[in-house]
Amino acid sequence: MRTFTKTYDHPLLQQRSLAHQAWLTGVNPDVRTPRVVEQRPGEIVYEHLDGRHAGPADLVALAGLLGRQHTAAYFRELVHARLDASFTSGGTITLDGFIDGRRERLRHLLTSESVPEPALTLEAVEGWLQKAAGMPAAFYKDANPRNFLVNGAIVAVIDFDSLTLAPFGYDLAKLVVSTTMTSGPLVQETVQEALDTYNGHPRSRGLPGCTRREFAAWCEFHHALTAPYLGTNGYRFGWHTARPGWTTDVLRQPDEELAP
Ligand SMILES: Nc1ncnc2c1ncn2[C@@H]1O[C@H](COP(=O)(O)OP(=O)(O)OP(=O)(O)O)[C@@H](O)[C@H]1O
Ligand SMILES: [Mg+2]
């Protein structure tokens, strides 16, 4: 059987990645992930999955997948989670909260002026973090286009190294920002369609989903957090040069806050 081996420098990171995958397949049993064939010190051997990385043409379908995953995870477990705390599931796996680690990293990036043309000030970031504390919990699994393998109509999710709690829409924002940074500006209507498709899942079950304004804020979080990787990982376009205009417009208009 063809396999794919991933190496780890630290046993703790390897164990966490395996635990993340086990948790995800528990809350999203219908989502394809590679079977773990073998674990060795410093290595996880997975079955090899055929497929290509995701691209702009996959955005709306992947938004649907993420919306479905997050909504299922919420109703199975995360209804009990708070975004400002870590969440332990089954006494075995702990997902880090959304706020503490990100606050520190965002503060560092914004005060060291390493973020080109940020659309959020440090104070605005703090406001959004505080607001997030009261939002329903979904998760962040680093939805960059290299962490999906697309094979016809079948999409597999791979790479379980990062998994934290996050608001609804946050991992979709990661997909939009990282796809833009990889492939260049997206059609603005496609981004809106992706957000609508994503929101169809939580909203059909009575959850608020993610407003345009929240989505725009999470895009700016990812801009700050991903900007240091520009020029690596296939990231050729800065979000500040390619972001859809409506995302910055909506952040400048506080009175749109209550609009869907
Ligand atoms: N089970 C698998 N079958 C086939 N290819 C795989 C598999 N797992 C990973 N890959 C390939 O290896 C790449 C890197 O894997 P992974 O995302 O787990 O590592 P990474 O260190 O996060 O790399 P990156 O920063 O590029 O995402 C994937 O984008 C994919 O092309
Ligand atoms: Mg990866």
d(CA 223, CA 160): 21
d(CA 165, CA 33): 20
* Ligand 1 geometric centre to CA of 233 (Å): 11
Q: Please provide the average confidence, as pLDDT, over all residues in the chain.
A: 96
State residue 253's pLDDT score.
Answer: 86
Domains of the chain: 53-256 (3.90.1200)
Ligand 1 — pocket residues by CB below 6 A?
Answer: 4, 6, 34, 46, 48-49, 53, 146-147, 158-159, 233
For atom 10 of ligand 1, the residue with the nearest CA is: 4
- Ligand 2 (ion): which residues have CB within 5 A? 147, 159
State residue 255's pLDDT score.
Answer: 52
* Ligand 1 geometric centre to CA of 246 (Å): 32
DSSP E strands in 91-220: the ranges are 93-95, 137-140, 148-151, 154-157, 164-167
Q: How many CB atoms lie within 10 A of CB 13?
A: 11
d(CA 55, CA 233): 14
Which ligand has the nearest atom to the CA of 234?
A: 1
pTM, two decimal places: 0.97
* Ligand 2 geometric centre to CA of 182 (Å): 14
Which ligand has the nearest atom to the CA of 233?
A: 1
State residue 259's pLDDT score.
Answer: 44
* Ligand 2 geometric centre to CA of 84 (Å): 25
Pocket test for ligand 1, best of 4, 151, 163, 175 (most atoms within 8 A of CB): 4
Angle at the Cα of 24 from the Cα atoms of 23 and 29, rounded to 5 degrees? 110
| Weakly modelled stretches of the chain, pLDDT under 70 | 254-260
**What are the tens digits of pLDDT across the range 29-70?**
999 999 999 999 999 999 999 999 999 999 999 999 999 999
Tell me 187's DSSP state.
Answer: P
